[in-house]
Amino acid sequence: MRDNLTVETIPLRIEGREVKKLRNKETASVKVVWGGPAGENATWELE
């Protein structure tokens, strides 16, 4: 962990892809499994 409380992560693999269609727009989303020094012990909170 850095002094500014950020952690470097690397993408390990893509778990899934999905395209959502709303009216005439399509939005692609990708689920990515991340890895790095934090591993599974990382907690994410919104401020």
What was the pLDDT predicted at 47?
64
More confident residue, 8 or 30: 30
- Rounded Cα distance between 31 and 19, Å, is 12
Domain count, the chain: 1
Whether 44 maps to a domain, the answer reads: no
What are the tokens at 13? 């693999």
**Percentage of residues in the chain having pLDDT higher than 70:** 72
Give 4's contacts (C-beta < 8 A, 6+ positions apart).
none
pLDDT, tens digit, 9 for 90 and up, residues 15-36: 999 999 999 999 999 998 888 7
Whether 32 maps to a domain, the answer reads: yes
What residue numbers bound the domain in which 25 lies?
A: 10-39
Question: Residue 10: pLDDT band by 50, 70, 90 thresholds?
Answer: confident
Whether 5 maps to a domain, the answer reads: no
Whether 28 maps to a domain, the answer reads: yes
User: Mean pLDDT, the chain, as a whole number?
Assistant: 80
* Half-sphere exposure for 22 (CA within 13 Å, toward CB): 3
